[in-house]
Amino acid sequence: MLFIYTLDNFMQLRRVVVTGLGALTPVGNSAPETWEALVNGKNGIAPITAFDATNFKTQFAGEVKNFDITSMMDRKEARKLDRYSQFSVWVADEALADSGLDLDKEDRSRVGVIWGSGMGGLISTESEVIIFAQGDGVPRFNPFMIPKAIPSIAAGQISIRFGLGGPSYSVSTACSSSSHAVGSAFDQIRLGHADVLLTGGADADVTYTGVGGFNSLHALSTRNDSPETASRPFSKSRDGFVLGEGAACLILEDYEHAKARGAKIYAEIVGVGMTSDAYHMTAPDPEGKGAERVMRLAIKDAGLEPEQIDFINTHGTSTPLGDVTEVNAIKRVFGEHVYEMNLDSTKSMTGHLIGATGAVEALACIMALKEGIIPPTINHDPEDVDEEIDYRINFTFDKAQKRDVHYALSNTFGFGGHNACLIFKKWEE
């Protein structure tokens, strides 16, 4: 039993459970579609369709397919939302429906939104600047440009759409944004500041600026001759990450509140860790000290020992330095137990969804706990061996593996040295 000490007394921390899921990814337009695709090793990477990428070093990405927000709202309202906000309200709507929450029976001041986005409304900013630059120099900007572009607006749009008066804010920590958001939501509920929180994140960065900017950093794979195999975590020939887009939403709920309304429960969230590398603007600390500490903090927060973790959904971006650094940090944390666990990287299928990636990968952990199956890491050639990676570790290459998973850990690390780690527990009364 967990307690927090205050000057006046000990306060019992509340248990927090996951009661709803929503997803929109390069491999599926709902949480069930995404999970089925991940288990089956479906690849969501293909040549870019959003714009003509002929002159770019990278000409492929993980795009959301066949998405039509007008099936949810009218076209006039949709034009007031950037694509990342459209993704956000889409997955929030799915997750709320999945949770079975009847908001008319809830105290909406106890229901809120904590959302993550690395880039915010990049498409809206980019398009308005292009229009201005190509014009006559007279500033004619869309009056919705700023509210479409700011990284906080998705949380606001979700709150407005569903009339949620609880805590509402956004977290922006690059690639770890939605993991930080989920961790913050966990804290808000277990401390008693809210009963239900919609949490997760979204990004839609497959744009001229997104692809061009990451290309200028030499961060993206340039395997244009074989985009479907470009994201190849833990393989020697990896040459950068594959940019993706999407969103995911988790409904986190106080256990007693969920129990009282007879909610179905997917899993329990039991631990969170947050650290900084304090090292470099874009590169991870080569010794992985921040990554090691964030896992240790999450395990301690959960009241566990390392040997109790069964599965790690790694950050696993398919970058030359990042993969080695993470694996070595994991080995230091788990010692010999590392050879008893399953590791994987679902980015091999979805690409890197930037601010949405933590929420999507949390969903993968939650479903692995519920269904007893680990999604694979695809695109690995057994002869494509990196001497710096220990292949005695089970990276779940090629095919999903059945396993009774009791505790699952999700790592996310972002530019600026932002690290977040989440731990979920198989649901048991």
Catalytic residue among 180, 257, 315, 380: 315
Q: For 142, phi and psi rounded to 5 degrees?
A: -60, 130
Q: What is the rounded (10 degree) CA torsion for 68, 117, 37, 243?
A: 100
C-alpha to C-alpha distance for 194 and 192, rounded to whole angstroms: 6
Amino acid at 374: I
Amino acid at 50: A
**CA proximity to 410, closest of 188, 221, 181:** 181
Query: Active site includes 421?
Result: no
Assigned token pair, 239? 């040459």
Assigned token pair, 348? 């091999």
Catalytic residue among 175, 249, 365, 421: 175
Catalytic residue among 257, 352, 380, 418: 352
Query: Active site includes 175?
Result: yes
Give the Cβ contact number of residue 70 at 10 Å: 11
C-alpha to C-alpha distance for 258 and 239, rounded to whole angstroms: 45
Q: Residue 90 contacts by C-beta under 8 Å, 6 or more apart in sequence?
A: 22, 24, 67, 69, 72, 247
Query: Active site includes 380?
Result: no
Assigned token pair, 204? 């839609």
The residues carrying an active-site annotation are 175, 315, 352
